[in-house]
Amino acid sequence: MAWDPTQYLRFESQRLRPAVELLQRVRDDAPARVVDLGCGTGNTTALLTDRWPGAHVVGVDNSSAMLAVAEHDHPDGTWVQSSIDQWIPDAPFDIVYSNAAIHWLDDHASLLPRLVAHITAGGTFAMQVPDNFSEPTHQAAIDAAREGPWAEVLGPLIRPWPVLQPVEYTRLLAPLCAGVDVWATSYVQVLTGDNPVAQWTKGAALRPYLSALDDDAADAFFADYAARILAAYPPEPDRTTLLPFRRVFVVATVH
Ligand SMILES: C[S@@+](CC[C@H](N)C(=O)[O-])C[C@H]1O[C@@H](n2cnc3c(N)ncnc32)[C@H](O)[C@@H]1O
């Protein structure tokens, strides 16, 4: 699947806010080793470096396109190309942080304990994932994928939503951690421009579908999707468009 850093960064400030709010809940004062899983273009990794300038901070991502931007924008950073579920560090980390990435991986019930196993005693696991699968942003993509001439190609790419309920993350991590803090926030994003919700999704949730089609088919699929989204998220009288966006946060202190 190909990521498009430019499209992703069109909504950079809105996408960064939950990353900042997640980081504010991490209490560690002086971690020695910090990792950003699914670091993308390195924006979230830079937040970690700014917060803990004395730490060794590593960004991990499996997209060469996203890492190329990270390396260009942050040449002093340490970047590792790996899938999160294949990632095996050579030494444990004091903080494993991940913003808007772990929902791209399945089976959180087995993945999260494996990630927590890479954290030092007293260290922190901090994760934020979207929880918007039932919203039109995602359901319209599934409908468009199933109903167009591309259905044979896109149908198999429709995946079950892996994000658990907040209480399930608490139950999952409680036996492994001294403290587990889980919460959800629903942001109302006020967007500008023509059909901005379709543009937002084009930078993230639509990537698997767009990457699987040739350019003409991808354009046609996006036009079909964008029409559905415009109907679901019409502009307000002041020409802004409102996008409700729920996210789940987990901050856990490891035994
Ligand atoms: C929505 S972006 C978030 C980037 C960054 N954390 C931020 O908040 O701006 C999701 C990132 O997760 C990465 N990603 C998705 N699946 C991954 C996997 N299995 N292993 C590593 N990275 C993955 C993508 O390449 C992408 O850079």
Q: Judge if the beta carbon of residue 42 lies within 6 A of ligand 1.
A: no
- The confidence score (pLDDT) of residue 13 equals 87
pTM listed for this prediction: 0.97
- The confidence score (pLDDT) of residue 232 equals 98
- Cα 196 to ligand 1 centroid, rounded to whole Å: 21
What distance in Å separates the CA atoms of residue 217 and residue 212, rounded to the nearest whole number? 9
Burial class of 239 by CB neighbour count within 10 A (0 to 12, 13 to 18, 19+): exposed
- The confidence score (pLDDT) of residue 151 equals 98
- Cα 60 to ligand 1 centroid, rounded to whole Å: 9
Query: What domains can you pick out in the chain, each with its CATH number?
Result: 5-143+160-186+245-254 (3.40.50.150)
> Can you say how many angstroms the Cα of residue 228 is from the centroid of all Cα atoms in its chain?
23
Tokens of 71: 């390396």
- The confidence score (pLDDT) of residue 7 equals 82
- Cα 3 to ligand 1 centroid, rounded to whole Å: 9
- Residue identifier of the C-alpha nearest atom 14 of ligand 1: 38
Contact 23, 119 (CB under 8 A): no
Residues 154-173 pLDDT 10s:
999 999 999 999 999 999 99
- Cα 79 to ligand 1 centroid, rounded to whole Å: 13
Percent of the chain having pLDDT more than 70?
A: 100
What is the rounded average pLDDT for all residues in the chain? Answer: 97
Residues 217-253 pLDDT 10s:
999 999 999 999 999 999 999 999 999 999 999 999 9
- The confidence score (pLDDT) of residue 109 equals 98
Q: 114 falls in which pLDDT band (50, 70, 90)?
A: very high
**Closest ligand 1 atom to 128 CA:** 8
**Closest ligand 1 atom to 1 CA:** 25
- The confidence score (pLDDT) of residue 8 equals 79
- The confidence score (pLDDT) of residue 9 equals 81
